Structure 1
Amino acid sequence: MRHRIGAALTGLAVAGTALLATAGTAGSHGYTDSPISRQRLCADGTVADCGEIRWEPQSVEGPKGFPAAGPADGRICAGGNSRFAQLDDPRGGAWPTTRLSSGQNHTFRWRFTAPHATTDFTYYITRDGWNPGRPLTRAALDAQPFLTVPYHGQRPPGTLSHSGTLPSKTGRHLILAVWTIADTPNAFYACSDVHF
């Protein structure tokens, strides 16, 4: 009897280790933490009721080609992934914001758990007069990104920072960061609520 219990426990331990090994990396990739993204706010517990994104802030992956392609309007912050729909919920415009200075230089920072060959990083911002109480749409964004950082197929390190000039804005806005992967059909999306 003791031998059977020991064998069963060993089998469970092996199965559990295999499950953890595959679950931790299957959807692992990257997110922004400067300015802090919605997924990071969920992961660190600043924002509650986030669902699965709390354990997978790096997994907001969706089709690339934004803005011509990519996630549908209203599903952009979650990368079109229904598992992370809480990121698209505007929460009445009450997501915590990062304070930024209009027209100033800012250092954007990404954290990666599985770096990929990268085409570029692009940053969009909402138009003046956008409604923070509604899910993000393409029409709510300025037509052109305010910053594009080419990466020429390289793989980024565990943490990557790059600087750019913020647009001239006032009040509450949302920055959409898009990390476009060179060797897959996907990109990663991160929405950061900011206040100028």
Structure 2
Amino acid sequence: MFRLVGVLTLLMMLSAVPAHAHGAPTDPASRAYLCSPGQPSASSSPCRKAIQAGLPSKEWDNIRLPNVAGRDAARVPDGKLCSAGLAKYAGLDLPSSEWPVTTLKSTAFTYRATIPHQGSFRFYVTKVGYDPTRALRWTDLEQFLTVPTPPLVNGSYEFQVRLPQRTGRHLIYTVWQNTDTPDTYYSCTDVEIAAPVTTTTAPPRTTLKSSTPRPVPVASSAEQPPSDATRFGMSAVVAALGGLAVLGGIMLWRKRIL
């Protein structure tokens, strides 16, 4: 009897412990991930301040709220987007241009799932003119991608994204809304977006081959067939000469007779 009570008590205690770790962006990495133990960036000034403010750095993948159901702006207040309004993660909301930043080198994003869930992802990027020294607001963000129920690949969700035209320092905001649990996860990722490379491609040069111009052939008069007028004129001349010859012959014949 006592053993049964002990087992039941232990099960109740275990069920009361929240499941640790679920997921967060790792490439480019979220603020929480970059402040986690073992990351060189954990010693940065913003990470140290966040940890001093109570950031549970080992729980970098557990920034979640229950029963949001897509009402993100109603549940997560301006200025607290990176912490999702959770007091223990409030250090992630610290406005600063010193947050560790990832220089984007590709359009491939990775979201590591330490405990996989079904759900959809929404990606936002800060608008042109973003200032990292000001508290982040919903109006600072522009949604650019939604991916419903992506497949899990080697423990992660992978995405090919196409950002709106941006350059310089910006922030990627990721929302993972579960469908198999009531939870929604939030992450802030600081990125540096390189200016698009504009290359002017000169048109191919056309090389003209130098050669001696060939004269345009002109048909000689002997080779050209005579025209109708020419033929008529020549016939007339021949006829006239023939007539003169006949007349001359007649005159000579009469002279002999006389």
Equivalent in the alignment of 1:3: none
Equivalent in the alignment of 1:122: 122
Q: Distance in 1 between matches of 2:64 and 2:153?
A: 17
Matched, 1:60 2:63: yes
Contact kept, 8 Å, 2:21 with 2:61, in 1: the verdict is yes
Amino acid at match of 2:131: N
More strand by share: 1
Amino acid at match of 2:31: R
Equivalent in the alignment of 2:141: 141
In structure 2, the CA distance between the partners of 1:38 and 1:75, relative to structure 1 (3 Å rule), is same
Equivalent in the alignment of 1:35: 28
Q: Which SS does the other structure have where 2:35 is aligned? A: helix
Structure 2 residue aligned with 1:181, among 166, 178, 183?
A: 178
Q: Distance in 1 between matches of 2:147 and 2:88?
A: 29
Q: Deviations over 1:7-63 (max 9, x none)?
A: xxxxxxxx9xxx99986x624211101111100111044132323331100111023
Matched, 1:165 2:162: yes
Q: Distance in 2 between matches of 1:78 and 1:31?
A: 13
Equivalent in the alignment of 1:8: none
Equivalent in the alignment of 1:6: none
**Number of residue pairs matched?**
171
Contact kept, 8 Å, 1:109 with 1:162, in 2: the verdict is yes
Equivalent in the alignment of 2:199: none
Following superposition, the deviation at residue 137 of structure 1 comes to 0.7
Q: Which SS does the other structure have where 1:26 is aligned? A: coil
The 5 A counterparts of 1:66-81 are 67-81=72-86
Following superposition, the deviation at residue 70 of structure 1 comes to 3.4
The alignment's TM-score, normalised by the length of structure 2, stands at: 0.59
Structure 2 unaligned residues grouped into runs of 5+: 1-9, 43-47, 194-258
Contact kept, 8 Å, 2:122 with 2:174, in 1: the verdict is yes
In structure 2, the CA distance between the partners of 1:156 and 1:52, relative to structure 1 (3 Å rule), is farther
Which runs of structure 1 show a deviation greater than 4 angstroms over 4 or more consecutive aligned residues? 19-23, 154-157
Q: Distance in 1 between matches of 2:27 and 2:152?
A: 20
RMSD (CA atoms)? 2.7
Equivalent in the alignment of 1:151: 149
In structure 2, the CA distance between the partners of 1:189 and 1:157, relative to structure 1 (3 Å rule), is farther
Contact kept, 8 Å, 1:126 with 1:175, in 2: the verdict is yes
Q: Distance in 2 between matches of 1:36 and 1:69?
A: 26
In structure 2, the CA distance between the partners of 1:139 and 1:189, relative to structure 1 (3 Å rule), is same
Structure 1 residue aligned with 2:101, among 97, 103, 115?
A: 97
Structure 1 unaligned residues grouped into runs of 5+: 1-14
Q: Distance in 2 between matches of 1:66 and 1:128?
A: 25
